[in-house]
Structure 1
Amino acid sequence: MRYSIKIGIVIFLSIGVSIAGELGLITDWATFRGDSLGYSWVEIYTKLNRENFKFLLDSTSSNYVGSLYVDIAIIDDFGKIADSLSYQKPIIIPENQPISQQFKLLNVYTFHLPIGKYRAKIFTSDKIGRKSDSLSFDFDLKNYWANENLFSSIMLSYTAMPSKENTNLDRMGYRMFPNPDGIYDLGSLTLYNYAEFYLRDTTVQKVGIVQKIYADDTLFRSFEPEWRISKKADWFIGGFSVAGFPDGEYKLELQLLDTSGNILARADKNFIVAKHRQIAIAALDTELVDKYRDVLLYLMKPEQLRTFDKLSKEGKVNFWNKFWSDNDPNPDTKENEFYDRYIARWNYVNKTFTFGNTEGWKTDQGRIYLIYGPPDNIEHHSFQISNNSWEIWHYFDKNYYFIFADVLGLGTMKLVDSNVDGEVQDKYWREKISS
């Protein structure tokens, strides 16, 4: 199933650096079976860097507003325009948000075309700053109606969040922000992917989809298959953490299996892990340096924090690199296990404990998880007439416990008691959650 074109700009926080043209335009694409015989869909994914645009203050709303123009032309093999679109749309920065803060402007454009060879020409411009950027690429629309088992292309994504909407970023009940450059760094440590498969073999009753990761053509990691009853056409959303991956280039391969382990179809997509990517100091903005501080906050001693805050931007980057290097338990190996383990926790808490506008690492549960790691056991106590919900985290090795409760009944779990020195200790905590 594909989606009609719905123009909209998605603003997504970035801790990366512009690496493309004047507006940082980067593109990717994926192809899927069309809605009618002989047709296929192409999805074009674009990313622009908001900080490259010029903004003017709108006196009526106190917001800064920019102007984005996009023109896309799809040229067929005979040099004729098969389809096109163009539009102009404002980019609105909310009040009190810095203009220079780095954000990605992400979008998805879909075209339904006859099977064949095409070229896409994409032109973008900043109407206020008079900057522009353009890219073109060739693509083939495969015949997904052929009498064989086939995978579609693979779409790489930053996220896969449950959604009840039907925008150009939603598919099968999930909001997926595309990752056109295929780079996963400190700010995006989970790789999500979307693909479809088309099964022509009617004798197959059950199929499994497996994700395999290759580095230098050598199998690096393989995940357990996801089994399901076979259909003529189906979809798959996968995901895995890259926190433990060494920096480098990888290939994701999806395999469609029968119950005997035979490969019915496969598709692959390259991606890059760049957690330690070298970034020019002059290009760093305050948002990235602040992110370094956030990540290190619960690991640093008070004197280290004071030292960090006094450093220049370049000094803070050097501090960041030296901190992880000094705490590497096995400096003779390529991996830094301490870094990988902590960043995996960081990624987990921001995915699991984020509530409203509060990021997961800022919550009590997120902080405890980052400092002490995953608990050995969690006792859940749901809401009752006499009291609000609460839970206990146990750490058996150190005989620690932490009690969290929804004190106000609003869904926010606060630390209300513990037996760890320096943490909240309140033997009357039950009274605070009683109705």
Structure 2
Amino acid sequence: MNLRYALLPVLFVSLVAGLVFGQQASYIPLQVDYALFKADSNRCFMEVYLSFYQKNMRYVASDSGFQARFTTRIEIYDGDSLLLAQDKNFVDQVPSMAQITPGRQFLDMYAYKVRQGDYRVRLIVKDLEGQRQGEFEFTPVVHPYPTDRFSISDLQLCTRIMPARGTGRFSKGRFQVIPNPSGIYGVKLPVIYYYAEVYNLAPPGEKGTYTVEAYVTDMEGNEIRRFPAKTYSKKGKDAAIIGGYNIVTLEGKPYNFHLQVRDDDTGELVQKTRRFLMFKHADQFASVTISDFYQQLRLYYQSQPEEKLDEEFNYARYVATDAEKKVWESLNREGKIDFLIDFWKRRDTNPETPENEYRQEYLTLVYYANEHFTIKNKPGWESDRGRVLLTYGRPDQIDRNVSRSNMKPYEVWHYNRLEEGVVFVFADFTGFGDYQLVHSSYSKEVHHPEWEQYLEDSRFPENPTIQDNGGD
């Protein structure tokens, strides 16, 4: 996504770093999940579930107490083509800030009919008061459910299921099905509720029933608990599968929840699996200690696929040493979890607080770079501006050339804390917002003091020299 600046009748626009990057002062962590259900012979219902802790929003004084204003946006892409975009505006009003407890969440759901295909779904939340933002992206693959074969929908994990009072966004038939996008359970959420649908049950025969059974395994596939099977009479060819089990005695770690349904007339068996996380803490949402923070970070990593661990380390390659990069390539999944925790812990700028401010700031800048510096298929964190931002942090000042007709657009980033003051010059040779680093006065970067003449000539040497001033 390109950041476009309006042409101004002045040569330069100068902004301090707090204004330059104020639009992404803090990242809002989002919990997102989705499930597919049968719509018709050609389409599926895709339900997308979103939640985030409202303590991450900024509440300001209002006539009746305090309020937060925020927007949510969902975008669905087929390849690079935007198929759908939907925006929602919200105002959360509370009489007292005491009501914004650590565990209070905003929860919403989107539902659409979609045809077979590979999609990319992007969710964005913007805090209009605090200028915070969060983003989550996933890539669902949609296949219509068969019309002539016993099958089961996706398995939706829930915080609770209760009789519906009228209709609402979480209504499914006679029930209100409240999703749990995070998949986290614990002392305050001790019951794992679930919802699924089965399709094309055989016509009632001698038995005329179907049987539902659920069990839990650890991440190594060992069965930890099996719940009693339940048998139901058939009332049609399709059926909703709803239930819940108390899991509070499970140890705090990730698990898989398995749901299987057997058509008792044919013996056919279908099943689905979902990962969930059991978080065992005296108070799941209490203020955490330093050790609690890293325990939670470990549980988070354990709940993620290995590709997400690789993605986070790739983001951090600009600040990783060659030795660390070499070690990473030799690690298995558990080793990568240990490595990431130690990697961020050693870089924590304030180790006495129960958070890792360095990791939070670094990932915030990754998000900013991807949001503002991405060009076509090249993510912003891999661009020259993204690399400099992630390597050296927020600049103290940015000068932007936005109006000289005889010169390519360029930016000058100032870092007063490096070598008593240095600059980085980025130029857009193509006119499409792809700014390349053409010069820096920092001893460790490309050095080309005659950069201005090449911007006027619209050409630049392929191999600019590196100035060596004795830096490491």
TM-score > 0.5 by shorter chain: yes
- For 2:201 and 2:264, the matched residues in 1 are separated by 16
Query: How far apart are residue 171 of structure 1 and its match?
Result: 2.0
Counterpart pick for 1:223 among 224, 227, 235: 227
TM-score normalised by the chain length of structure 1: 0.56
**SS state at 2:145 partner:** coil
Query: How far apart are residue 170 of structure 1 and its match?
Result: 2.2
Q: Aligned letter for 2:194?
A: N
Query: How far apart are residue 202 of structure 1 and its match?
Result: 3.8
**SS state at 1:180 partner:** coil
Q: What is the total number of aligned residue pairs between the two structures?
A: 262
Q: Is the Cα contact below 8 Å between 2:147 and 2:200 reproduced in 1? A: no
Alpha-carbon displacement from aligned partner over 1:289-341 (angstroms, at most 9, x marks no partner) = xxxxxxxxxxxxxxxxxxxxxxxxx9xxxxxxxxxxxxxxxxxxxxxxxxxxx
Which residue is 1:214 aligned to?
Answer: 217
Query: How far apart are residue 265 of structure 1 and its match?
Result: 1.1
Counterpart pick for 1:55 among 47, 55, 59: 59
**SS state at 1:177 partner:** strand
Structure-2 change in CA distance of 1:163 and 1:135 (3 Å): same
Q: Is the Cα contact below 8 Å between 1:38 and 1:145 reproduced in 2? A: no
Which residue is 1:250 aligned to?
Answer: 255
Which residue is 1:174 aligned to?
Answer: 175
- For 2:60 and 2:291, the matched residues in 1 are separated by 23
Q: Is the Cα contact below 8 Å between 2:192 and 2:246 reproduced in 1? A: yes
- For 1:283 and 1:214, the matched residues in 2 are separated by 27
1:35-434 equivalences under 5 Å are 36-59=40-63, 62-76=64-78, 78-95=79-96, 97-99=98-100, 101-199=102-200, 201-202=202-203, 205-215=208-218, 216-230=220-234, 231-259=236-264, 262-276=267-281, 280-281=288-289
Q: Is the Cα contact below 8 Å between 1:152 and 1:197 reproduced in 2? A: yes
Query: How far apart are residue 281 of structure 1 and its match?
Result: 2.2
Query: How far apart are residue 256 of structure 1 and its match?
Result: 1.1
Query: How far apart are residue 138 of structure 1 and its match?
Result: 0.5
- For 1:223 and 1:75, the matched residues in 2 are separated by 40
- For 1:48 and 1:281, the matched residues in 2 are separated by 21
Q: Is the Cα contact below 8 Å between 1:41 and 1:141 reproduced in 2? A: no
Structure-2 change in CA distance of 1:263 and 1:251 (3 Å): farther
Q: Is the Cα contact below 8 Å between 1:57 and 1:63 reproduced in 2? A: yes
Q: Aligned letter for 1:84?
A: A
Q: Is the Cα contact below 8 Å between 1:150 and 1:265 reproduced in 2? A: yes
**SS state at 1:51 partner:** helix
Q: Is the Cα contact below 8 Å between 2:49 and 2:179 reproduced in 1? A: yes
Q: Is the Cα contact below 8 Å between 1:192 and 1:240 reproduced in 2? A: yes
- For 1:247 and 1:261, the matched residues in 2 are separated by 39
Q: Is the Cα contact below 8 Å between 1:73 and 1:84 reproduced in 2? A: yes
Structure-2 change in CA distance of 1:176 and 1:282 (3 Å): farther
- For 1:121 and 1:39, the matched residues in 2 are separated by 20
- For 1:162 and 1:100, the matched residues in 2 are separated by 27
Q: Is the Cα contact below 8 Å between 1:255 and 1:263 reproduced in 2? A: no
Q: Is the Cα contact below 8 Å between 2:201 and 2:263 reproduced in 1? A: no
Structure-2 change in CA distance of 1:225 and 1:75 (3 Å): same
Structure-2 change in CA distance of 1:283 and 1:187 (3 Å): farther
Q: Aligned letter for 2:47?
A: E
Q: Which residues of structure 1 form unaligned runs of 5+?
A: 1-20, 285-313, 315-435
- For 1:229 and 1:57, the matched residues in 2 are separated by 56
Query: How far apart are residue 222 of structure 1 and its match?
Result: 1.8
Q: Is the Cα contact below 8 Å between 1:148 and 1:201 reproduced in 2? A: no
Structure 1 vs Structure 2 CA RMSD: 2.6
- For 1:261 and 1:213, the matched residues in 2 are separated by 26
Q: Aligned letter for 1:247?
A: G
- For 1:100 and 1:128, the matched residues in 2 are separated by 19
